[in-house]
Amino acid sequence: MSAHTSTPLPVVLVGAGTRARQIYGPLLTGPMATQLKLVAIASRSEDRARSLAEELGVPWSLSLEEAATDYGARGAIACVSSPDNHTVAHRILDLELPALLETPLALELGDARQLAQRIAQSDVPVEVAEQNPRFPREAFWRRIIEEGFLGEPRLLTSNRAGYRYHATAVARGLLGRPRGQRAVGMRAVFPLDLGRGQQVSTVHAGTITTDSNAVFQLTDGEGLHVPASPWLRGGWSVLCDGGSLVEPDRVQVHSSGVNKHLPVERVTRSIDGVEVTQTYRLHGSLLLESPSALPDAPLDDDAQAVARCLQDWLARIDGKPTSTGWSAQDGFDDLAWITSLERSALLGGTALRIDALETEPQGS
């Protein structure tokens, strides 16, 4: 179905957990309701399925197959726990329903490979809901690079705790989605007590080189990913051959031996008590603007990113994949990059070739 017709696409929401309740449900019954019609909730938890369905005013079922067929769904959104992602994805594909899949595609790279290869051989439109490259600020960074203000990106660094494959997704997007070549990793294992009792934690650090002659440096500590940690968000920096971009939004252009700082403006508006990022603007000789997915809806940046995922999914169903779309190929590559780095670290820093798919999925 076209994303631009007046008839919304009927969809089933698979899962009734926190993100289904707090993000997808309100989006589907709110600002995205003109394009998507939520017809049912499918979940293996009767209590949660009933509760969410009653809250949203739709029927529910413990069976995905029944929810899809009985209520006329023509698409499915998988929002389940990570260990179930690839299993639910295969069930949706069995029904030949266009699918929006949350990340990671699977916990194990082999399962992600199998799923991505199946999608490659299928005519079913599948979009991957990797939100991090679609956050308003990250999307703005990508737009700056794509427009050529800074030249070619050569070095990216990130030190976000608990970020893992999300970091590689953002890096791949900023680099123009090159093919990863080699990963070299290091790790430190140590006891950690952040008020939850002592546990063993691991910090990973390493580099990934690409076929575009770029380097991505990542430092990640899953155990440090807690609200009280000053290392929760960390930072990004992008060094290009014509300038640099450093979080939180310092843009510098180098031209004719002169460094010029370009001002960045985040345009916000309070809507129903929510501070909404409406757009980012880069001021210079030419104004560059990067609007959010739904700038006039009361959505925080997380919900704006999910809204962009839904818009990209509709475009893929329409046969018109967008520049911000994320394919199964992308989902596999995100996981392959971080998996190779972590395997290298386990092997004491041995350089490893990054896994690639034998067959490229559609729309990649």
Residues 154-178 pLDDT 10s: 999 998 767 889 999 999 999 999 9
Distance (Å, whole) CA 355 – CA 183: 10
The residue among 258 and 208 whose pLDDT is bigger is: 208
Residue 50 confidence (pLDDT): 98
Residues 18-32 pLDDT 10s: 999 999 999 999 999
Q: Read off the tokens for 239.
A: 């060094």
* Spatial contact of 120 and 332, defined as CB atoms under 8 Å apart: no
pLDDT tier, 361 (very low <50, low <70, confident <90, very high otherwise)? very low
Domains and CATH numbers, the chain: 9-128 (3.40.50.720), 132-317 (3.30.360)
pLDDT tier, 197 (very low <50, low <70, confident <90, very high otherwise)? confident
* Spatial contact of 173 and 140, defined as CB atoms under 8 Å apart: no
**23 in helix, strand or coil?**
helix
Q: 238: which DSSP letter?
A: E
Beta-strand ranges (E) seen in the chain are 9-14, 36-42, 60-61, 76-78, 99-101, 126-128, 153-158, 180-192, 199-210, 215-221, 236-240, 243-246, 250-255, 258-262, 264-271, 274-282, 288-291, 352-353
Residue 258 has pLDDT above 90, yes or no: no
Angle between helices 109-120 and 328-346 (to 10 degrees): 160
Whole-angstrom CA distances from 80 to 21, 123, 360 are 11, 24, 26
Residue 3 confidence (pLDDT): 43
Mean pLDDT across 81-97: 97
User: pTM for this one?
Assistant: 0.93
Residues 205-224 pLDDT 10s: 999 999 999 999 999 876 66
Residue with tokens 């460094």: 259
Residue 201 confidence (pLDDT): 78
pLDDT tier, 235 (very low <50, low <70, confident <90, very high otherwise)? confident
Question: Per DSSP, what are the bridge partners of residue 209?
Answer: 182, 215
The DSSP bridge pattern shows strands 215-221 and 274-282 to be unpaired
The DSSP bridge pattern shows strands 243-246 and 236-240 to be antiparallel
